[in-house]
């Protein structure tokens, strides 16, 4: 009984494992023209445009003509991102071409968030790194 009690006391005193880095917060796109806020939404994470700093401010490339006049602020770019491996997987909307891609988010450091969007079942992918604003 004593050995079991000793092991339990050692485990209780051990530091808790570090939590995986969370992408929550506001991020700046590589072009420096858009800030995106990543926050919890339902069981996953979502990223919405928080601020447009330069360039087009309307969703002019949206495939739905009725949405082309809407402001980009508030548009969801990363939707229903769920934990997967060392990051999150879900959908990524690219307002520059009006297309939605299968995508991933992965924190690459305290101030770096890597996004990758793919087509054709992951055969063709593009990635970019966003910088943390806060």
Tokens 């485990």 -> residue: 11
Instruction: Write the pLDDT tens digit of every residue in 62-118.
Output: 999 999 999 999 999 999 999 999 899 999 999 999 999 999 999 999 999 999 998
How confident is the model at residue 122, as a pLDDT?
A: 72
Q: Which residues contact 34 (CB under 8 A, 6 or more apart)?
A: 28, 49, 51, 52, 53, 55, 72
- Which segments of 1-134 does DSSP mark as H helices, in order? 2-13
Domains, the chain: 20-132 (2.40.128.520)
């Amino acid at each position: 009984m004593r050995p079991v009690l000793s092991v339990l006391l050692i485990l209780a005193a051990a530091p808790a494992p570090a939590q995986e880095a969370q992408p929550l917060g506001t991020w700046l796109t590589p072009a420096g023209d858009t800030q995106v806020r990543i926050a919890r939404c339902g069981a996953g994470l979502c990223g919405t445009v928080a601020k447009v700093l330069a360039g087009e401010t309307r969703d002019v490339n949206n495939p739905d003509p009725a949405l082309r006049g809407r402001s980009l602020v508030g548009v969801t770019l990363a939707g229903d991102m769920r934990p997967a491996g060392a990051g999150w997987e879900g959908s990524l909307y690219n307002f520059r071409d009006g297309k939605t891609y299968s995508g991933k988010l992965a924190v690459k450091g305290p101030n770096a968030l890597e996004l990758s969007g793919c087509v054709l079942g992951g055969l063709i992918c593009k990635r970019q790194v966003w910088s943390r604003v806060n």
